[in-house]
Amino acid sequence: MTEMVYGTIPVRDGEPVLPKWWRTVDKWSLSCILILFGIGLLLGLAASPPLAERNNLQPFHYVQRQAFFGGLALTVMVLMSMMSPQVVRRVAVVGFLISFVAIALLPIFGTDFGKGAVRWYSLGFASLQPSEFLKPGFVVVTAWMMAASQEINGPPGKLWSFSLAIAIVLMLALQPDFGQACLVLFGWGVMYFVAGAPMLLLVGIAGMVVLAGTFAYENSEHFARRIDGFLNPEVDPTTQLGYATNAIQEGGFFGVGVGEGQVKWSLPDAHTDFIIAVAAEEYGLVLVLCIIALYAAIVVRSLIRLMRERDPFIRLAGTGLACMFGVQAMINMGVAVRLLPAKGMTLPFVSYGGSSLIAGGIAVGMLLAFTRVRPQGEIGDILRGRPR
């Protein structure tokens, strides 16, 4: 009778965790993530040896570290994707609280590593960027608040989530880290829209963002310098954007050849923020389009699976995670081709960076957990008046 009503895969009592996970997880999205990580290692082999040489390290020092942190990230991703949505929510709340406190303490204990923005903790053997770990926890916590507000006599979850988003955006802007602040606000806005926010309110929030951007431009030299550089029609060939633009032009359709690129010898962030420039120069437009297609496949498949989800919390949290993942990739590539101002944001699973890789593994693991097949009816059944 249950299958006739819900039309889904029945629950198999006593089924081992691993076979059940493999049967219910989105294998296409999982495969795309593994391919992206493989591409990241391939590009790391090309981009990181010049940096290792400048720092008097072994040629593949950074590639080995990327493989190590990537292995941890993939392990965390698989373990997280095996959890139930309730367990994921509990883990996200704890992780969010720890990350929130860590960001609040950055002005006291943090460091800027000479980059002008206090975003990291120096651990000696590595650095830690707490904002990377804050994002997935923030999405899940605010989705929980918004879902709770839809219940009868529920709390004012949407107001709470907005207050929390503003507090985080202000803390990130003070570092300054306007890229992560915009990403957090975007994630909140997407979830608020899906939760049924009135368009007039969203327009008002967009206007507030414009006013905040104007204020930041007039009062932050760091922000103004990046905006002026973006609006300047002439690109200084000795800047990172200049090197990246030239590399993309040189790459053409098929690239200059494996190991033949020159941008990695000029760009200090060739293995992180501008890794796509290395891909475009050595492998051409072909590899860049493949990378874009992989990110698009993950986002689109996740959203399609979430459209069938009845639980508002799962639907909101999954949508926020998927859209934030895709937009971060879009921002990173948009900066490299001068469609967006410089943001200092990594390309998920491709760029080098321990915090970025592990936090990405957590976020995608949560997304895979939310998009797993569960014994339930589709949301369309509710709209058609079918029994729950």
Q: What is the pLDDT of residues 83-102, one digit of tens each?
A: 999 999 999 999 999 999 99
Q: How many CB atoms lie within 10 A of CB 298?
A: 27
Contact 288, 279 (CB under 8 A): yes
Q: Is the pLDDT of residue 113 over 70?
A: yes
User: If you average pLDDT over residues 330-346, what whole number do you get?
Assistant: 84
Q: Is the pLDDT of residue 15 over 80?
A: no
Measured at the CA of 383, the angle between CA 381 and CA 388, to 5 degrees, comes to 40
Cis peptide before 233 (omega within 30 of 0): no
CA atoms within 13 Å, Cβ hemisphere of 280? 20
Our measurement of the distance from residue 277's CA atom to the centroid of its chain's CA atoms, rounded to an integer in Å, reads: 19
For 167-180, b/e burial (b = at least 16 CB within 10 A) is: ebbebbbebbbbbb
Q: Which helix (H) or strand (E) holds 23?
A: helix 17-24
Q: Is the pLDDT of residue 138 over 90?
A: yes
Q: Is the pLDDT of residue 183 over 60?
A: yes
**Higher local confidence (pLDDT), 235 or 41:** 41
pLDDT value, residue 296: 96
Using pLDDT thresholds of 50, 70 and 90, give the confidence band for residue 11.
very low
* Helix residue ranges, H only, 150-239: 157-173, 178-194, 199-219, 221-231
Using pLDDT thresholds of 50, 70 and 90, give the confidence band for residue 324.
very high
Please tell me the distance from the alpha carbon of residue 81 to that of residue 87, in angstroms, as a whole number. Answer: 10
Q: Is the pLDDT of residue 199 over 60?
A: yes
User: If you average pLDDT over residues 222-231, what whole number do you get?
Assistant: 73
Q: Is the pLDDT of residue 170 over 80?
A: yes
Cβ neighbours for 244, distance < 8 A, ≥ 6 positions apart: 263, 267, 274, 277, 336, 337
Contact 109, 122 (CB under 8 A): no
Q: Is the pLDDT of residue 304 over 50?
A: yes
**Higher local confidence (pLDDT), 206 or 62:** 62
Please tell me the distance from the alpha carbon of residue 103 to that of residue 129, in angstroms, as a whole number. Answer: 9
Structural domain spans, the chain: 26-371
Q: Is the pLDDT of residue 330 over 90?
A: yes
Whole-structure pTM value: 0.88
Percentage of the chain surpassing pLDDT 90?
A: 44
Using pLDDT thresholds of 50, 70 and 90, give the confidence band for residue 41.
very high
Please tell me the distance from the alpha carbon of residue 264 to that of residue 269, in angstroms, as a whole number. Answer: 8
Q: Which residues pair with 120 in a beta bridge?
A: 111
Cα-Cα-Cα-Cα dihedral sign, residues 370, 371, 376, 382: positive
* Mean pLDDT value across the chain: 85
Of 299, 86, 95, nearest to 190 by C-alpha is: 299
